[in-house]
């Protein structure tokens, strides 16, 4: 699992995940996402490099979203493929975390 992030200005951090968000990948993504959430208020998360999303990855996203929400911030997810979107929809996570098509929509949603 590879995790990158950059400050894109306006108080927004753009982060990206590459690899499988299974129990092996989430073990690496969790602390990295926690660190990103600790240092930012608004995060646009690019999931276009996530080739597989399991429930443990859903929990990683929920933890990051909760940490941001607790300080008035927000997580927006974009670029998820069809299979990942199905998992986000099925678990109801797309009702509590904004899931949008692309980076432009994510940045617009974060204002």
Residues 40-69 that bind another protein (CB under 8 A): 52, 54-56, 58-59, 62-63, 65-66, 69
Contact partners, residue 18, CB within 8 Å, separation at least 6: 1, 2, 3, 4, 49, 50
Q: Do residues 107 and 12 touch, judged by C-beta distance below 8 A? A: yes
Identified binder of another protein from the candidate list 83, 101, 102, 104, rule CB under 8 A: 83
User: Which residues contact another protein by CB under 8 A?
Assistant: 20, 22-24, 27, 52, 54-56, 58-59, 62-63, 65-66, 69, 83, 86-87, 90-93, 95-96
């Amino acid at each position: 699992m590879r995790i990158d992030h950059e400050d894109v200005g306006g108080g927004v951090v753009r982060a990206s995940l590459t690899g499988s968000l299974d129990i092996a990948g989430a073990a690496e993504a969790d602390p990295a996402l926690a660190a990103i959430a600790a240092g930012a208020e608004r995060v646009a998360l690019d999931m276009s490099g996530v080739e597989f999303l399991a429930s443990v990855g859903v929990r990683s996203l929920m933890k990051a979203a909760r940490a941001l929400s607790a300080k008035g911030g927000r997580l927006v997810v974009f670029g998820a493929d069809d299979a990942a979107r199905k998992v986000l929809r099925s678990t109801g996570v797309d009702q509590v975390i904004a899931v949008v098509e692309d980076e432009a929509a994510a940045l617009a949603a974060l204002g």
